[in-house]
Structure 1
């Protein structure tokens, strides 16, 4: 869903220092979407000098644009109702809060507003040509392609790709939000890249049913710009392998760091070391509401049942203040064999720094028939999100099926593997 590729109008008129007119994003009606609109591209510049009042710029009027700094183009997509993107202002302000740069909003709402998707998509190459002409002038004034960054949403991602192709892949960076197939040097797949938690599952959810999953990519990117949420992704061949804990080596001590979702994705060492890095898929899970962060733990269980047991584990953590967070590891049954360690990937919505109590529930999923016991020789909890934290252990437990067992963990012996 999220892709990362390393791969005109009104001019702001100033009457006086206290009487300034600020241009705004084009706002159209549903009527305009029905009758259709002709293409018009408006470039609106924001910098730390004009955080809230945009300057309309073009190839001859640069305003506050400083070509020696990074320039980030934000390109929206299909607008079936004509309204401005609700996330645009937040994204602009968040980008400027993390880096002193030029942010240019590419307003092509007159062209994107239509109820017929193909009509909007047919205009994307024309928008790309407008941007190419503008960037060419930036280069004349001393800008560098390495300092050009494009963030495209939906059809805006297509536009960004077209611009990148016009420069033979020499743009500094492209982030495309809203496509399933792998296209970039690194492609991020939240929750497998399909249905997103917290989004309506049926048409009864109204308009959110149609746009929530698609729009989630933007809000996940936004979360990467906030200090309280760092979303880690795990390079993997498939979502299933990730969920089964087969692709989290990058989160282990003494290993190379994992890629981060969003703005800081290009800090990942694995592909920065290479001139032409290979394509990589990265998977991760999210919570169902902002800021969407998930905290990963491994739950290592060694059992001593004589017979094989298959089932799922629910684990709940509680800190000293009584805060709790729970993870149901039930995407597929785990197989517990005598003296064999099973490592389960648990995902929690909260990060509890000091765990005071742990509870476990074992279930085979059966509602009738006998209840089984899971005899645990050792259970160990280790944080992937914070590998520096010491792992917690407990020994000699017996879990009755569908019955919560609560215990206080102890620090694992340092020599224990």
Structure 2
């Protein structure tokens, strides 16, 4: 047990504990446990700034380690196909405690969630919620406030959080759903899943809506990274094994973790569809005025007062991400007016460079745009780096054809405007002819 504890602490923080101290750890089970199934047993592991790397197991709210006057964040995992501990737990505990002085209660229901039969784990969700309600009731007696409680639920854990919220009539302070589970929950009534009425503020990140996640909006604000389906950097074929099934689903967790580091704030935009967002039709946040556009993740609660007072509180938010942490993408509006007599249909590859030679490259749209004479087309390219002073721009136009004549695209006017930093000067270029599949580099001028 002690050896397991030391390994767990190392994973948590890279700091060794007192050799004489025994640290309760998340229940780690084997694939054999999944084969035979597990009966429900819930363990509550408490972390605070006084014990950031060595949990204290909670048996009641009267524990001397639990200060109920502080904010309390419950972390609830989901279905465990193999019985292993979630890899993201150590980082989430560490980053939450770095963000605020709080109680973190890790709800370990691995015994119950570990099974090859997903339905069996799903059926235990309401029982887990009842156990959590009992603990929270005890905390309220000791002086805790529902206003200061935050539940972070992953997959099935998001619906467990919703059930707890229902039991308290929606008075919990906040529920964050990280890719709430879709199977068995799609099409069910609000009482059988997470719902905006389950807490004072409900925010949701949907990252696998065409697989293990839930497609429809479930909160006051619902974030759909990359449209909510295929996430950059995740395997595209089943030959990648288990990672093919869980990578998109887990991306919601890693995006939330990234928001806690504040290495960059991922801005999201209200829109009725991802396609309209990608076509540059939904990059205004006037409806949030005087607030700026909402940011993804932990600090989304800063928009709570706005989102919970609207007559139609459910808001779908779209944005793009990179393929690795911190996942940030820096967007530009690119307005193009062409003067070809014949219609041209194709895509752009754009490379930006600053005075030091540093470059940022982007493929503009996954779908080809149609360029007609004197019609303005707006594109929304995203770059993985933010160049403050763009000195050169390189363009490559392609119709996707590899044989036959090379087409030309005659640009009457092209304007670049940073969406991420709209206060920066706009850059323009006039009278430019692009030959298909041939890169053209130019120095932009202020518009």
TM-score scaled by structure 2? 0.84
Give the alignment of 1:18-417 within 5 angstroms: 19-178=20-179, 179-250=214-285, 256-268=291-303, 271-272=306-307, 274=309, 278-412=313-447
1:257–1:269 CA contact under 8 A, matched in 2: no
CA distance in 2, matches of 1:277, 1:300: 32
Deviations 1:295-343 (A, max 9, x none): 1111111223233332222111112222222111232222323333222
CA distance in 2, matches of 1:258, 1:137: 39
Deviates more, 1:46-55 or 1:339-348: 339-348
Deviates more, 1:198-207 or 1:270-279: 270-279
CA distance in 2, matches of 1:191, 1:253: 22
Distance change >3 Å, CA 297–CA 253, structure 1 → 2: farther
The CA deviation at 1:269 is 6.6
SS in 2 for 1:22: coil
CA distance in 1, matches of 2:265, 2:51: 28
Distance change >3 Å, CA 140–CA 277, structure 1 → 2: farther
Question: Which consecutive unaligned segments of at least 5 residues does structure 1 have?
Answer: 1-11, 413-417
* Greater share of residues in strand: 1
TM-score scaled by structure 1? 0.90
Deviations 1:134-165 (A, max 9, x none): 11111112211111110001111111111011
Deviations 1:214-233 (A, max 9, x none): 11111111111112122111
SS in 2 for 1:132: helix
CA distance in 2, matches of 1:165, 1:253: 28
CA distance in 2, matches of 1:73, 1:230: 24
Q: How many residues align?
A: 398
The CA deviation at 1:366 is 2.4
SS in 2 for 1:225: helix
The CA deviation at 1:270 is 7.5
Deviates more, 1:301-310 or 1:146-155: 301-310
2:62–2:142 CA contact under 8 A, matched in 1: no
1:81–1:113 CA contact under 8 A, matched in 2: yes
Deviates more, 1:56-65 or 1:244-253: 244-253
CA distance in 2, matches of 1:53, 1:213: 30
Distance change >3 Å, CA 50–CA 201, structure 1 → 2: same
Match of 1:5 in 2: none
CA distance in 2, matches of 1:49, 1:42: 20
Distance change >3 Å, CA 324–CA 168, structure 1 → 2: same
Question: Which consecutive unaligned segments of at least 5 residues does structure 2 have?
Answer: 6-16, 180-213
CA distance in 2, matches of 1:405, 1:252: 39
Query: Which one has more relative contact order, counting CA pairs under 8 Å at least 6 apart?
Result: 1
CA distance in 2, matches of 1:367, 1:62: 70
Distance change >3 Å, CA 104–CA 270, structure 1 → 2: closer
CA distance in 2, matches of 1:162, 1:132: 9
